[in-house]
Amino acid sequence: MSIHFKKIANELSIAEKQVSATAALLDEGATVPFISRYRKEVTGTLDEVQVTAIRDRILQLRELDKRREAILKSLTELGKLTPELEKLVNEAETMIALEDIYLPYRPKRKTRATAAREKGLQPLADKIFDQTRFDLEAEAEKYIDAEKGVNTIEEALAGARDIIAEQMSENAEARTKIRTLFVERGTFASKVIPGKEESGIKYKDYFDWTEPVKSAPSHRILAMRRGEKEEILWLDIKPQEEEAIAALENMFVKGNNTSTNQVQLAIADGYKRLLKPTMETEIRLLTKKKADEEAIRVFAENARQLLLGAPLGQKRVMAIDPGFRTGCKVACLDEQGKLLEDTAIYPHTGPGQAKEAEKTAKHLFEKHNIEAIAIGNGTAGRETEVFIRNLNLPGAIIVMVNESGASIYSASEVARDEFPDKDITVRGAVSIGRRLMDPLAELVKIDPKSIGVGQYQHDVDQNKLQTSLDDTVINCVNAVGVELNTASKQILAYVSGLGPQLAQNIVEYRDQNGAFKQRSQLKKVPRLGDKAFEQAAGFLRIHHAENPLDTSAVHPERYDLVLQMAKDANCTVRDLMNDDKLRKSIPLQKYTSETVGLPTLNDIMAELAKPGRDPREQFETFSFTEGVNSINDLKIGMKLPGIVTNITNFGAFVDIGVHQDGLVHLSQITNRFIKDANEILKVAQKVEVTVVEVDVNRKRISLTMKDNEKREVVAHKPSFNKPVAKHAGAGFSPRDSAKTVNKNAAPEPEGDLQLKLAALKNMFK
């Protein structure tokens, strides 16, 4: 294991002792948030990203060790294990290298080569493979045996070539060379399946598409694979065949005689029949894995930013799930998000009902002392916003809320448990209101894949996606902290050391015994033992607690230390929390020990200064441009406020209030070159954009964030570069900045001729 620690330390550029200490904590059951927050002295102040990387790499290396042990056991049982082979197996650093070594010895089903060996042709194959000069036909004739099924010289030679082909295809060095060739020189080639041109029109730009494996971005790989899965595209992965065969001949051809000719035939056959299909499958898996990792990274980062969106806080909220014909569902919530009253209004179905809707809305606003109004951004969202603003409700904060996933929540078991007597529209309205109050607390109730910030989330490895999203939610929840007396069981389940069952037990204990008055009461919760308490306590807050430290992120294991500080300063803990001068007078070095260092002491002092502080940004009001409610209202050159809804490898999608997000391509985010939109933007950020082009028929909007002077130069300039995938779906192609996005379109690898000509015309208008 120490070898693994050294390897991981080198990979992460940290000290080996940091890795070993972190591994020990993980093996003891400590969680990533707990380790990164409360065990800084043990790990050398590793953050959650580094701790997670150590955890994941250790799991990978342990899986490798398990496979290594299984292979050594198999080789021993087969009687094939030699000291040299054992050394090779023990030195293999990747699963691929390990499997390459084992491949020639692995039990396999009957092949052409095994059939040839059963006919006694192995010696002939060995002699041919040596490529010394001898009478080939005379030698082959010795192996003619009708009883064994070898009737002619050619049959003997064919069998020998089958053996050579398999040996060559199973050679570890050859596999490494061809694998490298596939990666470095290979290409993806996709073509439309004949007859599928019309039904697969969204993939039209992949109907005849080639691209280097080495440079193909994740979204295009996933797009082509999706087209193949839907039986629209035929997809092949290969290097130049002549180049691959030449590379193998350089390895195995040693002479220039009749035997050499046989070896060359075996190499060509072995490559086409055995090695190429195997390598294609491998590269498919490798590129899929890489594409999955990138898509998952993008999704997790977007989810993190959305979860950590600024909360409005504890306000009395009127939440509206808008609709035209079916009306708008209205839910009034108190400061804790409890449903007070719900009804339906019909502001868009005629003057009479609009007047009644106005009367009802004003009545509910006054009756429940509403402070803020949350309106879903779906169908009729902008029209409902206009209706509410025209009511001129005094002091009301009116906010459009992203309702992605609200329908998923409203039909879920969680929603049914919360509101068994309400229909799904009311539940959806409540979710919209609660999202405004506290996005994190509400969004944890929804499958993260349904909150509208992903890129190919349904195409990637679902287990890896779930692990990444679980990590993201856990880190977000624990970074913010959870109010113990009001938290739902869903958000409590993500607290370090808890999980669904303990979360349920906490809620039940709270219901039966009333609010928690101090953290130590957690130990009375059934099945919540010392270990779970240690992991969870620091992340749970109790506002107005008897002990002021229970309102903070100071861990109970450090309460005595803080009490000693207060005693030495001749004051109370509450005095320390309220008096900056007192805190600054504390000589922190005095309180260091073997287990407590300055990192922890500095964290404690920061918490005493702002106990239970919320790390999320302050909420800011926002409104879309009046009079711009649909894509038909847009004009090129319009400057509009917007909210970033999704960030991808190729740019950012922005909601400008017209029911169709626009794309700001990576090249249009800033005047300087950037590789990642996250360098400038984040999900839920408020931005100002300018409309570059609108395609009403395809529902595509292209936007820019560049300043006016630069935009006038580049806004319509075509740039026919690489294609990219679309927002949270099949794909998008930003070859030129004037191109726009369709949420239902497939990825487009190259703009068609008409779009290019249109863009060129725009340049010279």
Domain annotation covers residue 149: yes
Residues 135 and 58 in one domain: no
| Residue 754 pLDDT | 40
Q: How many CB atoms lie within 10 A of CB 578?
A: 14
Structural domain boundaries enclosing 290: 123-299
C-alpha 459/C-alpha 452 separation (Å) is 15
Residues 643 and 708 in one domain: yes
C-alpha 441/C-alpha 482 separation (Å) is 9
The count of domains in the chain is 4
| Residue 765 pLDDT | 38
CATH of the domain at 654: 2.40.50.140
Domain annotation covers residue 310: no
Domain annotation covers residue 726: yes
C-alpha 347/C-alpha 388 separation (Å) is 9
Domain annotation covers residue 429: yes
Question: Which band of pLDDT confidence, cut at 50, 70 and 90, is reported for residue 454?
Answer: low
Residues 6+ apart with CB under 8 A from 196: 231, 232
Mean pLDDT value across the chain? 87
Alpha helices by DSSP H, listed for 31-186, are 32-38, 40-43, 48-78, 83-91, 95-102, 112-118, 122-130, 136-141, 153-169, 172-185
Give the tens place of pLDDT for each residue, 473-532. Answer: 999 999 999 999 989 999 999 999 999 999 999 999 999 999 999 999 999 999 999 999
C-alpha 678/C-alpha 672 separation (Å) is 14
Question: Which band of pLDDT confidence, cut at 50, 70 and 90, is reported for residue 455?
Answer: low
Of 382, 416, 437, which residue is a domain's last? 437
Per the structure block, which two tokens stand in for 702?
């292209």
| Residue 460 pLDDT | 85
Question: Which band of pLDDT confidence, cut at 50, 70 and 90, is reported for residue 99?
Answer: very high
Of 50, 71, 105, which residue is a domain's last? 105
Per the structure block, which two tokens stand in for 195?
């007859």
Domain annotation covers residue 705: yes
C-alpha 629/C-alpha 647 separation (Å) is 23
Of 407, 437, 467, which residue is a domain's last? 437
pLDDT of 758 strictly over 80: no
Residues 6+ apart with CB under 8 A from 397: 312, 315, 371, 372, 373, 621
665 three-state secondary structure:
strand
**425 neighbors 330 (Cβ within 8 angstroms):** no
Domain annotation covers residue 266: yes
- Who has greater pLDDT, 61 or 751? 61
Residues 262 and 390 in one domain: no
Phi, psi of 450 (to 5 degrees): -105, 10
C-alpha 599/C-alpha 319 separation (Å) is 43
Residues 151 and 289 in one domain: yes
**259 neighbors 161 (Cβ within 8 angstroms):** no
Residues 746 and 694 in one domain: yes
188 three-state secondary structure:
strand
Domain annotation covers residue 183: yes
737 three-state secondary structure:
coil
C-alpha 622/C-alpha 645 separation (Å) is 14
Mean pLDDT, rounded, for 603-622: 87
Residues 328 and 412 in one domain: yes
The percent of residues above 70 in pLDDT, for the chain, comes to: 91
Phi, psi of 746 (to 5 degrees): -85, 165
pLDDT of 10 strictly over 80: yes
Residues 191 and 251 in one domain: yes
| Residue 751 pLDDT | 37
Mean pLDDT, rounded, for 26-52: 94
Residues 24 and 87 in one domain: yes
pLDDT of 708 strictly over 70: no
Mean pLDDT, rounded, for 200-224: 89
Residues 6+ apart with CB under 8 A from 453: 299, 302, 303, 305, 306, 404, 645, 646, 647, 683, 728
214 three-state secondary structure:
coil
Please, which residues bridge with residue 328 across strands? 345
Residues 649 and 748 in one domain: yes
Residue 511 identity:
D
Give the tens place of pLDDT for each residue, 388-427. Answer: 999 999 989 999 998 888 888 888 888 888 899 998 989 9
**596 neighbors 41 (Cβ within 8 angstroms):** yes
CATH of the domain at 38: 1.10.10.650
Give the tens place of pLDDT for each residue, 321-379. Answer: 999 999 999 999 999 899 999 999 999 999 999 999 999 999 999 999 999 999 998 88
Alpha helices by DSSP H, listed for 368-423, are 381-389, 406-410, 413-418
C-alpha 765/C-alpha 763 separation (Å) is 6
C-alpha 635/C-alpha 637 separation (Å) is 6
For the chain, helix, strand, coil in percent to 5 are 55, 10, 35
Question: Which band of pLDDT confidence, cut at 50, 70 and 90, is reported for residue 622?
Answer: confident
Length of the chain: 765
pTM metric for this prediction: 0.79
Most confident of 314-318, 726-730, 731-735, 754-758: 314-318
Residues 288 and 323 in one domain: no
C-alpha 87/C-alpha 377 separation (Å) is 63
223 three-state secondary structure:
helix
Question: Which band of pLDDT confidence, cut at 50, 70 and 90, is reported for residue 717?
Answer: very low
C-alpha 565/C-alpha 586 separation (Å) is 7
**34 neighbors 497 (Cβ within 8 angstroms):** yes
Q: Which of 455, 173, 430, 153 is nearest to 291 (CA)?
A: 455
**234 neighbors 199 (Cβ within 8 angstroms):** no
Please, which residues bridge with residue 642 across strands? 687
CATH of the domain at 264: 1.10.3500.10
240 three-state secondary structure:
coil
Domain annotation covers residue 755: yes
C-alpha 473/C-alpha 479 separation (Å) is 10
**56 neighbors 48 (Cβ within 8 angstroms):** no
State whether the Cα torsion 606-607-611-615 is positive or negative. positive
Give the tens place of pLDDT for each residue, 245-277. Answer: 999 999 999 888 999 999 999 999 999 999 999
Question: Which band of pLDDT confidence, cut at 50, 70 and 90, is reported for residue 718?
Answer: very low
Q: DSSP class of residue 594?
A: S
Mean pLDDT, rounded, for 279-308: 89
C-alpha 449/C-alpha 302 separation (Å) is 11
CATH of the domain at 336: 3.30.420.140
Residues 10 and 44 in one domain: yes
| Residue 626 pLDDT | 83
Residues 240 and 386 in one domain: no
Most confident of 125-129, 463-467, 592-596, 749-753: 125-129
Mean pLDDT, rounded, for 463-468: 87
Question: Which band of pLDDT confidence, cut at 50, 70 and 90, is reported for residue 534?
Answer: very high
**CA distances in angstroms from 758 to 235, 732, 743, 752, 762, listed in the order given:** 31, 18, 22, 10, 6
- Who has greater pLDDT, 169 or 619? 169
